[in-house]
Amino acid sequence: MTQGLFDLTGKTAAVIGGASGIGEAVALGCAAQGARVYCLDVNEEAARGVAARAATAGCACEAGAIDIRDSAVVDRVLDHIDSTHGLDVVVCTPSINVRKPILRYTDEELARVLDVNIKGNFHVLRAAGRLMTARRKGSIILFSSIRSQVVEPGQAAYAATKAGIVQLARTAAAEFGPHNVRVNAIGPGVIETPLTAPIKANKAWYDAYAAKSVFNRWGRADELVGATVFLASDAASYVTGSILYVDGGWLAADGRFTPPGM
């Protein structure tokens, strides 16, 4: 009865942000589980490269350009996928961060973060929800962060948007649930991607983040695939409105001191 529970064969998955980092790993992972994958990104050329690699798994994979800041573009791209193959899974990974103290933040920097992290995710949620509720099936997966729960100096706007993504997912789950559409979020810890490369290059910074994990290391992009495939698959048929943290125990342990005798 449980055989093939995580199998995505016959499902069409749109992976937004699929040209690099976590999105790239997720696109390849969904293809490996049998899904038809649309690898979507602002960098269409890089997305095509990932789609070509995903196709080696024997699945039909395509690529395209998308800018989640533009609601008309999001509507058009997802409409095309749905009308061509049916849209079963949408994964939205993009976000940006401007690390600055609140008192030094400019209006322009705040707008950049909000436009991608809140407005962009809202555009995807609305477009995917419209299509999936009409078909009465589907799974939408947004990407939040441990910063939705814990913060550090310089993370005000980013942390606020990541908390907002959790609430977007929860509200959509409540609204779309009667139409058999599930909405969840994933909360990564610190993951090695091109975007975190500047931090990794600073050994003290890298080591400080590694020490926050109970594994004493950063996560890899491919370690987000299992959680995503789970939420996309029938294995999570009764899971909605949830956030699944993939953080190496970052949120579980608030210190590293081991009391005597332990």
Does 258 map to a domain? Answer: no
Does 97 map to a domain? Answer: yes
Does 204 map to a domain? Answer: yes
Does 262 map to a domain? Answer: no
Active site residue 158: yes
Domain with 174 in it: 12-244
Predicted pLDDT at 258: 63
- For 127-178, what is each residue's pLDDT tens digit? 999 999 999 999 999 999 999 999 999 999 999 999 999 999 999 999 999 9
- For 176-227, what is each residue's pLDDT tens digit? 999 999 999 999 999 998 778 788 888 888 999 999 999 999 999 999 999 9
Does 259 map to a domain? Answer: no
Does 67 map to a domain? Answer: yes
pLDDT band at 1 (very low <50, low <70, confident <90, very high): very low
- For 64-77, what is each residue's pLDDT tens digit? 999 999 999 999 99
- 49-58, 61-70, 80-89, 131-140: least confident range: 49-58
* Catalytic option among 38, 105, 158, 238: 158
CATH, residue 179: 3.40.50.720
Instruction: Please tell me the total count of domains within the chain.
Output: 1
Does 66 map to a domain? Answer: yes
Cα distance between residue 218 and residue 97, in whole Å: 18
Sign of CA dihedral 140, 172, 77, 123: negative
Does 2 map to a domain? Answer: no
